[in-house]
A and B are shown apart, each in its own frame.
Chain A
């Protein structure tokens, strides 16, 4: 049954990827893109990777699709046919590259082969020693936050750098006073408003559960941060940008990405001051396992703060820019 689900989902993926390639209506393409992400997240679930599926569902199907839609609202809704069609050269390049890669798979071990090199180096150590050294059941969380903690710090800094890039490019412009918000498309959907009021707090609560239960079930700072941001984005979609920006004071939101990264890095410095190595959580408490718990908790909070505020800042930048469009030329944009 697992194989069947696997094959059907992979076939769906290929079909929707071809649809993304062929659709000229970019709104339809964005929808197929959301579908593509949903399917791939389902695939990760069948391949025993719930943490990855969680992240892909929240990030790929949620945030990426919303960002593509927001961009389309500010650029063009249809793809134009180019004057001369480039087909032959790209096709040749793609077929040759694909053939070489397929040839390369001949040497790869089969999927699920226990003798594969990937299963015989560090992975057994993580799986066997994690419960003794770290003391939490979710091995993905223990590898993420403890064994490879320094690597994850790097990822958090990359996410921080990305938001600096986005804000530098399309920044948070101050709106001139007296400009009112453009017509909100969803303002007359009363049913949606009521349901959104019920749903948004539930999502926020769920985000907290994901954040703090990540040691025992799929979840953690990355997923929780994205879900938290998604709840506020839903609020912004239904009640307008100004209402959503009132939820978190802009000054606080602007310092949150850096704060999260600093919490993460600060934990490392504290462990050094306590006489250990960088991010060696054992030193944080008398009992090494308690120290690991505390360290992972703090680090995941740092990740959650950074990721949620970064996603929100990116969305607000796009939406604010789109509103500027509406005022300038009244043409595109919500």
Chain B
């Protein structure tokens, strides 16, 4: 049954990666990367149970932290209205 959860998480990751590649706006990409990050956290938690080694849950925690810091960093350096070219207007 954990296999079902892992499969569902993998499917979601595929969808998020496609959105990150298609992009349109930079914000779409940030959103997709963020979703991918939380899904990786869940994937690692599920894999920890699948392999019977819950030690690796620490990594899931570290992931959650880094994912958040990453999103904040992207926004901090991207600033407001800084996009050039077609990235922001594309609808």
Residues of A within 8 A of B (CB): 1-2, 4-5, 8, 12, 15-16, 19, 25, 27-28, 30-32, 34-35, 38-39, 41-42, 45-46, 48, 50, 53-54, 57-58, 61-62, 65-66, 69-70, 72-73, 77-78, 185-186, 192, 196, 199, 203, 206, 210, 217-219, 223, 227, 230, 233-234, 237-238, 334
Contacts and interface: CB of A to CB of B under 8 A. Distances in A.
B40 to A, nearest CB: 5
Interface in B30-70: 30, 33, 36-37, 40, 43-44, 47, 50-51, 55-56, 58-59, 61-63, 65-70
B76 A54 contact: no
B69 A217 contact: no
Contact of B56 (A45, A70, A233, A238): A45
Given A15-B17, A77-B84, A185-B80, A5 B47 contact: yes
B75 interface: yes
Contact of B26 (A12, A27, A206): A27
Name B's interface SS: helix
Interface of B: 3, 6, 10, 13-14, 17, 20-21, 23, 26, 29-30, 33, 36-37, 40, 43-44, 47, 50-51, 55-56, 58-59, 61-63, 65-70, 72-80, 82-85, 87
B24 to A, nearest CB: 11
A268 B13 CA distance: 47
A48 B48 CA distance: 10
Contacts of B70: 34, 61-62, 65-66
B63 to A, nearest CB: 5
A62 B66 contact: yes
Closest 9 pairs (CB-CB, A-B): A69-B77, A62-B66, A50-B56, A237-B76, A185-B79, A66-B73, A73-B77, A234-B69, A217-B55
Contacts of A12: 13, 17
B80 A57 contact: no
